[in-house]
Amino acid sequence: MRLFVALEVPEPSRRDVRRRVEGLRDRLPRARWVDLDVLHLTLLFLGETAEADVPVLAAKLRAAFSRFSPLPLRLAGGGTFPPGRPARVAWVGVESPPELLTLQADVAQAAVEALGFEPEERAYHPHVTLARCADPWRREAIEKFTNAFTGPVGPPFVAHHGVLFESKLSPKGARYRQVEVFPLEEDYPEEEA
Options 40, 125, 160, 161, the catalytic residue:
40
Count CB-CB contacts under 10 A for residue 26: 6
Average pLDDT over every residue of 121-134: 94
Residue 186: its pLDDT value, please? 60
Residue 32's φ and ψ, nearest 5 degrees, are -95, 110
Would you kindly state where each structural domain of the chain is located, as residue ranges? 2-183
Using DSSP, state whether 180 is helix, strand or coil.
strand
pLDDT in tens, 3-17: 999 999 999 999 999
Give catalytic status of residue 161 as yes or no.
no
pLDDT at 193 over 60: no
pLDDT in tens, 64-95: 999 999 999 999 999 999 988 999 999 999 99
Residue 73's pLDDT is what?
98
Tell me the average pLDDT across 115-126: 92
Q: Which of 125, 127, 160, 161 is catalytic?
A: 127
The answer to whether 125 is a known catalytic residue is no
* pLDDT of 189 over the 60 cut: no
Identify the band that residue 23 occupies on the pLDDT scale cut at 50, 70 and 90: confident
> Across-strand partners of 8?
40
Per CATH, the homologous superfamily of domain 2-183 is Cyclic phosphodiesterase (3.90.1140.10)
Rounded CA gap, 31 and 130, in Å? 10
User: Higher pLDDT residue, 82 or 170?
Assistant: 82
Distance CA 33, CA 10 (A): 18
